[in-house]
């Protein structure tokens, strides 16, 4: 029986979801912190960074939009970082905490591959629905294992570069150079991952044309 082919998510559709989250979660908080640091000093910058996160939470609640669990965890984490930063009076202490956390996450990515439960697969399924018949395919399993290894290396590289900048450059230079470096490294890795993902799904469909292939969809994105 003929079945409909894979309907692959467009790269532009994935970017439409990823870019606003990147701006909200990464670029804007750094811009708020840097501006407040220049105008209000370290304590004011720490307060502004915390306020930005909680304003984002309040905005979602007022508009009755769902609050992601990751956003709640981010609010708790940045509060703890700010308290420690205020207590020590050191911007280095404030910024080095998430870098150390990222190193731990990269180790978790490596461990997940060893345990045959690649974390990139779990994260991908938060945004893209894949039928179980696809997830069970050996080609897909290898793909997620390799991409998880890639992102473990990307996270480790980003943190290594960030910590070196933090310990050897001014806070202003750290914020500017680190943001640009992480954006380039992560952006290239994201584009490479998306391209490889589409390629492996195309190959899978070409290999099994007679097998039922439900559409691959992105929740909340139509077309």
Percent of the chain past pLDDT 90, that is, above it, reads 11
- Whether 31 shows a pLDDT value over 70: the answer reads yes
pLDDT tens track for 167-212:
999 888 888 898 889 889 988 998 888 888 888 877 877 766 544 4
In a domain, residue 1? The reply is no
Q: Do 207 and 158 form a contact (C-beta atoms < 8 A)?
A: no
In a domain, residue 124? The reply is yes
pLDDT tens track for 72-90:
767 777 788 888 888 888 8
Nearby residues of 14 by Cβ (< 8 Å), 6 or more positions away: 127, 128, 194, 218
- Whether 4 shows a pLDDT value over 60: the answer reads no
68 and 129: one domain? Answer: no
111 and 208: one domain? Answer: yes
Domain residue limits at 35: 11-89
In a domain, residue 112? The reply is yes
Q: Do 209 and 71 form a contact (C-beta atoms < 8 A)?
A: no
In a domain, residue 29? The reply is yes
Number of domains in the chain: 2
pLDDT tens track for 5-16:
445 556 566 666
In a domain, residue 6? The reply is no
C-alpha–C-alpha distance, residues 87 and 10, integer Å: 47
209 and 129: one domain? Answer: yes
In a domain, residue 139? The reply is yes
In a domain, residue 222? The reply is yes
């Amino acid at each position: 029986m003929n079945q409909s082919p894979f309907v692959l998510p467009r790269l532009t559709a994935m970017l439409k979801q990823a870019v606003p989250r990147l701006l909200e979660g990464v670029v804007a908080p750094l811009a708020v912190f840097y501006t407040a640091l220049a105008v209000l000093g370290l304590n004011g910058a720490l307060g502004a960074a915390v306020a930005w996160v909680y304003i984002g939470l309040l905005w979602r609640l007022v508009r009755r939009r769902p609050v992601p669990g990751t956003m709640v965890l981010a609010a708790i984490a940045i509060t703890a970082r700010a308290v420690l930063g205020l207590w020590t009076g050191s911007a280095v202490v404030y910024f080095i905490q998430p870098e150390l956390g990222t190193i731990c996450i990269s180790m978790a990515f490596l461990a997940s591959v060893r345990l045959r439960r690649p974390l990139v697969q779990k994260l991908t399924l938060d945004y893209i629905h894949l039928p179980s018949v696809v997830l069970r395919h050996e080609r897909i399993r290898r793909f997620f294992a390799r991409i998880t290894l890639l992102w473990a290396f990307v996270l480790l590289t980003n943190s290594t570069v960030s910590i070196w900048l933090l310990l050897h450059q001014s806070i202003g230079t750290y914020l500017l150079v680190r943001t640009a470096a992480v954006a380039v490294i992560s952006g290239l890795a994201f584009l490479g991952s998306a391209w490889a993902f589409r390629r492996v799904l195309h190959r899978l469909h070409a290999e099994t044309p007679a097998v039922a292939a439900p559409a691959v969809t992105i929740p909340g994105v139509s077309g």
